[in-house]
């Protein structure tokens, strides 16, 4: 994956719907990044927020695989696609953002009630709430806290017609966080 390919993905392919919500993949990405930025998060976590669902756009499983009972493993696909371009501080929160949802649902009874419809549907195909053993393993991950933060921004970023910067506005941040060639 190159930066040019990312721009191509977000400018050409990301206008499609995001799961069952009334926002496109592009709107969801820009909102997640903007929420992270407004929360004063490090640049690498803002970039992770921007790109966290890129895995949905690098497979051929259609617009809403979770709705048909398929886990597209987009967190792993996305992290794997970005691993040569960005450091672990970007790729690892992306890889762990679905696990973070499963962790939060298991650890906080109120979190499930706050999930959007599409998140509840996808939770079922992603394995449901974590077991205690998996929670222990997950909480030992180096990027555990960043993954939890990312997942919380993700859930908030589903607001139809919210105003955000454009994808190109984030290019300087992408350039600053990328691995040197």
Answer yes or no whether residue 27 interacts with Fe ion by CB under 5 A.
Answer: no
CA distance 80 to 66: 20
> Which among 7-15, 19-27, 47-55, 100-108 is the span making contact with Fe ion, rule CB under 5 A?
47-55
CB of 28 to Fe ion, least distance (A): 6
**Which one among 123, 154, 167, 174 touches Fe ion, defined by CB under 5 A?**
154
CB of 20 to Fe ion, least distance (A): 12
* Contacts of Fe ion in 50-109 (CB under 5 A): 53
In the structure encoding, which two tokens stand for residue 96, read together? 């762990």
> Which among 39-47, 132-140, 151-159, 165-173 is the span making contact with Fe ion, rule CB under 5 A?
151-159
> Which among 35-43, 125-133, 154-162, 166-174 is the span making contact with Fe ion, rule CB under 5 A?
154-162
SS3 sequence of 64-98 = CHHHHCCCCCHHHHHHHHHCCCCCHHHHHHHHCHH
Of 10, 22, 123, 12, the C-alpha closest to 66 is: 123
Q: What is the largest CA-CA distance in the chain?
A: 45
- Evaluate whether 126 touches 102 at the Cβ level (below 8 Å): yes
CB of 180 to Fe ion, least distance (A): 28
The residue ranges that bind Fe ion (CB under 5 A) are 53, 154
């Amino acid at each position: 994956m190159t930066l040019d390919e990312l721009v191509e993905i977000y400018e050409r392919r990301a206008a499609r719907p995001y799961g069952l919500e009334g926002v496109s993949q592009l709107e969801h990405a820009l909102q997640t990044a903007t929420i992270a930025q407004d929360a004063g998060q490090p640049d690498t976590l803002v970039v992770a927020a921007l790109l966290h669902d890129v895995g949905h756009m690098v497979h051929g499983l259609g617009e809403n695989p979770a709705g048909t009972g398929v886990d597209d493993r987009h967190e792993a696909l996305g992290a794997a696609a970005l691993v040569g371009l960005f450091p672990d501080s970007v790729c690892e929160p992306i890889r762990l953002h679905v696990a973070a949802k499963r962790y939060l649902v298991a650890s906080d009874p109120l979190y499930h009630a706050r999930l959007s419809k599409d998140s509840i549907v996808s939770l079922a195909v992603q394995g449901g709430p974590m077991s205690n053993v998996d929670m222990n393993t997950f909480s030992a991950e180096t990027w555990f806290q960043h993954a939890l933060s990312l997942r919380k921004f993700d859930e908030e970023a589903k607001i139809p017609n919210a105003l955000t910067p454009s994808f190109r506005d984030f290019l300087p941040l992408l350039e600053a966080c990328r691995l040197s060639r």
